[in-house]
């Protein structure tokens, strides 16, 4: 029987102890927490592991985005150079290059 005022795990522990049984509520919870955390304490050594592939793909996407942005910036520089020389003569080229830079930036964002 549980004494008045004792509730929860303490009451359960007292009940078991009064009957002579050993009760380890805290240790069983701690063991299950430790067991579930164990895979996350080590390093992933398999390059084909799902997490390793995901990180590699994300890094490649970031590098590709930076590369596209770098090319778009080069196109912007070319446009500025053409406009400063003769905007009327190079107007068609400027429009085409600006559109190409726009496409590169769009690709970088997707």
Q: What percent of the chain has pLDDT over 70?
A: 62
Res 110: pLDDT: 75
Pick the residue with more confidence: 32 or 102? 102
Buried b (16+ CB within 10 A) or exposed e, 74-101: ebeebbeebeeeeeeebeeebeebeeeb
Query: So where are the chain's domains?
Result: 8-40, 50-109
Per-residue pLDDT of 26-54, as tens digits, reads: 555 554 444 444 456 678 888 889 988 99
Per-residue pLDDT of 40-98, as tens digits, reads: 667 888 888 998 899 999 999 999 999 999 999 999 999 999 999 998 999 999 999 99
CA distances from 43 to 30, 36, 97, 102 (A): 23, 15, 47, 41
The pTM score is 0.52
In this structure, are residues 90 and 51 in contact, taking their beta carbons and an 8 Å threshold? no
């Amino acid at each position: 029987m549980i004494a008045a005022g004792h509730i929860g795990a303490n009451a359960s522990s007292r009940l078991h102890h009064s009957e002579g049984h050993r009760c380890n509520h805290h240790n069983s919870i701690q063991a299950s927490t430790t067991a579930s955390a164990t895979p996350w304490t080590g390093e992933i050594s398999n390059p084909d592991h799902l997490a390793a592939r995901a990180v590699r793909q994300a890094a490649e996407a970031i590098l590709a985005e930076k590369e596209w942005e770098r090319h778009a910036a080069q196109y912007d520089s070319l446009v500025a150079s053409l406009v400063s020389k003769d905007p009327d003569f190079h107007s068609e080229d400027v429009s085409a290059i600006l559109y190409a830079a726009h496409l590169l930036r769009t690709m970088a964002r997707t």
